[in-house]
Structure 1
Amino acid sequence: MTAFWFAALAVLLAGPVPALLARARWTWRVPRAALVLWQSVALAAVLATLGAGLSSLTMLFTEQPGLPFLARHGLAQTTLIGLGTALVAVVTVRFWAVAALVGVRTRRRRRHHREMVDLLHHRDAASAVDRALLGEAGARVLRVLTGPARVAYCVPGVGGNRVVISDAVLRELSAEEVSAVLAHEQAHLRARHDLVLEAFTVLHAAFPRVVSSRTALDTVRLLVEMLADDAARRRTGSLPLARALVQLASAPGEGGGEGGEGQGGLRVGADAVTRVRRLADETPDGTDGRTGRPPHRGLAAAAYTAAGCVLGVPTLAIAVPWLTASWRAFAG
C-alpha cells in the first residue's frame, strides 16, 4: 500500500492543496513564509511521485516468490500499482524533459532580449537629474528605452542583469516613484525570483493537467510581486510605490512587461488593486497600518511550521517504514 499512499499524496499536493492554498488571503500578510510553504508543497509533490514509482518497483523485487503477483494481490490492487507506476514514469520523464526545455528556452529568450535592449538603449535620453537618480539605483546595468508606453521590468541572467525602464516612466512619474520602481526591480534581481517562477513553471508543465493546478503558478507570481513590493517600500515608503503602481496600471501600454522574458517587472494587470490595497493596509515593518497591530510573526511561524510538516510528516509516516521494510527484504 506504500505506492498507493505515495500516489494519493502526490495527486493531493499537485491539485487540491494548491487550489485551497491559493484561496487563502493570509498569505498576503506573510508572503515570504507563504512562498516557502508553496515551495515545500511543490517539492513534497515531486518526492511523493518518485516515491510512488520506487515503492511499486521494490514491491515487485522484495516479495517472496510464490503465486503470480496478480493472484496474490488481486486485480484491483495490481491495476492501481500498474497505473501508478505508469503515471510516475510519465511525470518523471516529463519533469526532467520540461526542466531542460524550459531552462534552455528561457535563457535563449533572455539572451535575445538583452541583445535587443542593448541595441535600443540610448544613453543621452535622460536628463541630468534622471541620470543621477538612475546612477544611485545601484542596478548593475540600466537601460532607458524610448516609446509611449510606461514600461519597467528586469531581465536577469548570467550575461548581465538589465533593468529596463522607458523614458515615459521617467517623464511622467516623480523621482520618488521612479526610485520605488527601481527598488522593486532590484529586489527581483537580488532574490532571483526568476528561478522560483521557473521551478513552478516546470512543475506545472510536468504534471498532467487533470491533477495540475494553474492557480499555483499564478499565486506564486503574485507572492513574488508582493515580496518585491515589501523590499521597495522599506526603501522608499508605501505611498510612492502605490502611486507608481496606479500610474503603470493606467498606462495605455500597461507597464510591467514580463512576457516570459523579463522577471516580474511591476506586473500591474489584474493584481494592481490587490497590491495597492495591501500597501495601504500595512506599514513597511509589517504592522497593520489601520490598527497598528504588531508584525505577523506568529502567522509566519505557523507557515514555516506547516512547510516543515509537509516535507517531514510524509517522510516519517510513509518513507521511513517503506525504506526500513525494503532494506530488511533485500538483506534477507
Structure 2
Amino acid sequence: MLVSLVLLALGALAAVLAPRLVSRAKWPEREPIVALWVWQCVVAAVLLSFALSMVFSAAAAWQLVRGRVFAPAPRAVVDAYSLGTESPWPAVLATVLAFGGLWTAAMLTREVRGARARRRSRRAELLERAPLLPGEEPGSGERLVVLEGERPDAWWLAGSTPQLVITTGALRRLKGGRLDAVLAHEQGHARARHDWLLHCSSALANGFPQIPVFAAFRDEMHRLVELAADDVASKRFGRMTTALALVELNEDRGVFGPGTTPDAQLPQRVNRLLAAAPRLTPARRLRLTAAAALVPVVPLLVAFVPALRALT
C-alpha cells in the first residue's frame, strides 16, 4: 500500500509543479519540437503514476487482482509490497483511480468522434465547393483544394489523407516564396500529425479541468505546434519570408492592432521569426530529449524498488 501512496503523491506533485517549471524555461521558444516531446513525457509520467497506483491499490484490496498481477513473482517479492490489509482505503483508492481512467478514455473517445464528425462535415462541404476532377479518386492522396473566397486563408484538414485548403484571396495576396511558406507551414502540421496531440491534450484538459498540468498541456500544445510549423516553413523559405507571409495572411483580422483577439499569438510568432534567436546546441537538445525520456521511468523505478530489494 505504501508504494501505491508514493506513486499517487508523485503523480500529484508532477501535475502541480511541472507546468510551473516548464513555463519558466526560455528555451521552448527556440526549440518547440523538443518542448513538445518534453510535455508529452511529463504527461505520460503523470498518467503512468496514477495507473500504477491504481494497480497496486487494487492488488492490495482484492486477492483476485493480486494473484493476476503477481502470479509469476516469487513469494519474497509479494511479501515486499505488504499487500495484505483489512483497511477499506485501498479499494476506495483503486475504484477512484479506475473511474478516472475510464473517464479519460471516455473523454478521448468523445474528442476523437467529435473531430471525425467535424472533419466529415468539412470534407463534404469541400467536395461540394470543389468537386473532384474527372478520373480523380477520393482519398487518393494529399490534395490541394482552392476555394473561391475574398478573405485570405489557408488551413489543413486532418485525416488519413490530409488536405491543404487555400482561398483565392490568399493566392491573390501571397506571391512567390510567401505562398510557398504558408503551404509548407500547413504541410508541417499534416506530416507531424499535430491533430493527435491537440485531441489528446483537449480530452485531458476537458475531462480534468482542476489538474493544472492538463490545462497547461492543452494550451502549450496549441502554441508549440504553430511554432514548430513556423520553423518547418522558415527552414525552407527563410524567417523573413515566413513572417511576412503570416502578416499578409492575417493583416485584415485585426490581430496586429490593440486589443485581444483569438489569434493574439500571431504577433508573438512574427516577432519570434524576425528576432531569429539561435537554436540550442545539438548537445543541449540531446540532453533535454534524453532527460525528458527518463521522466516516465521514475514511476516505474518507484514501482519496482521493493521487488528489486527483495531479489538482491
Length-normalised TM-score, structure 2: 0.80
Identity of aligned residues (%): 29
- Correspondence for 1:281 among 251, 275, 287: 275
User: Residue 245 of structure 1 contacts residue 268 of structure 1 at CA under 8 Å; is this kept in 2?
Assistant: no
Q: Which runs of 4+ in 1 moved over 4 A?
A: 62-65, 322-325
- State the alpha-carbon separation in 2 of the partners of residues 271 and 320 from structure 1: 44
Aligned to 2:86: 69
Aligned to 1:58: 59
Aligned to 1:36: 37
Work out whether 1:144 is the aligned partner of 2:138: no
Work out whether 1:310 is the aligned partner of 2:310: no
- State the alpha-carbon separation in 2 of the partners of residues 141 and 323 from structure 1: 54
Aligned to 2:242: 241
User: Residue 3 of structure 1 contacts residue 84 of structure 1 at CA under 8 Å; is this kept in 2?
Assistant: no
- State the alpha-carbon separation in 1 of the partners of residues 274 and 233 from structure 2: 14
- Correspondence for 2:282 among 297, 321, 324: 297
- Correspondence for 1:319 among 303, 307, 311: 303
Q: Deviations over 1:87-145 (max 9, x none)?
A: 31221011111122222221121111111122123799xxxxxxxxxxxxxx8211112
User: Residue 91 of structure 1 contacts residue 206 of structure 1 at CA under 8 Å; is this kept in 2?
Assistant: no
Q: Give the superposition deviation at 1:202.
A: 2.5
Q: Secondary structure at the match of 1:299?
A: helix
Aligned to 2:225: 224
Q: Secondary structure at the match of 2:113?
A: helix
Q: Deviations over 1:216-258 (max 9, x none)?
A: 211122111111111111111111110111223322387xxxx
Go from structure 1 to structure 2 and tell me whether the alpha carbon gap of 1:122 and 1:268 turns closer, same or farther (over 3 Å shift).
farther
- State the alpha-carbon separation in 1 of the partners of residues 6 and 244 from structure 2: 50
Go from structure 1 to structure 2 and tell me whether the alpha carbon gap of 1:299 and 1:270 turns closer, same or farther (over 3 Å shift).
farther
Q: Secondary structure at the match of 2:169?
A: helix
Aligned to 2:113: 104
Q: Deviations over 1:250-292 (max 9, x none)?
A: 22387xxxxxxxxxxxx9812112211221232xxxx72xxxx
Work out whether 1:84 is the aligned partner of 2:93: yes
- State the alpha-carbon separation in 1 of the partners of residues 224 and 178 from structure 2: 21
User: Residue 123 of structure 1 contacts residue 144 of structure 1 at CA under 8 Å; is this kept in 2?
Assistant: no
| One-letter code aligned to 2:149 | G
Q: Secondary structure at the match of 1:69?
A: coil
Aligned to 1:263: none
Length-normalised TM-score, structure 1: 0.75
Computed over aligned residues only, the root mean square deviation of the Cα atoms, in angstroms, reads 3.0
User: Residue 31 of structure 1 contacts residue 223 of structure 1 at CA under 8 Å; is this kept in 2?
Assistant: yes
In structure 1, list runs of 5 or more residues that go unmatched: 71-77, 125-138, 255-266, 289-293
| One-letter code aligned to 2:291 | A
User: Residue 22 of structure 1 contacts residue 216 of structure 1 at CA under 8 Å; is this kept in 2?
Assistant: no
- State the alpha-carbon separation in 2 of the partners of residues 305 and 217 from structure 1: 23
| One-letter code aligned to 1:195 | W
Q: Deviations over 1:159-189 (max 9, x none)?
A: x321111111111222221110001011111
Go from structure 1 to structure 2 and tell me whether the alpha carbon gap of 1:7 and 1:295 turns closer, same or farther (over 3 Å shift).
closer
Go from structure 1 to structure 2 and tell me whether the alpha carbon gap of 1:296 and 1:273 turns closer, same or farther (over 3 Å shift).
farther
User: Residue 209 of structure 2 contacts residue 215 of structure 2 at CA under 8 Å; is this kept in 1?
Assistant: no
Q: Give the superposition deviation at 1:68.
A: 6.6
In structure 2, list runs of 5 or more residues that go unmatched: 67-77, 134-140, 256-260
Work out whether 1:48 is the aligned partner of 2:49: yes
| One-letter code aligned to 1:229 | D
- State the alpha-carbon separation in 2 of the partners of residues 117 and 313 from structure 1: 47
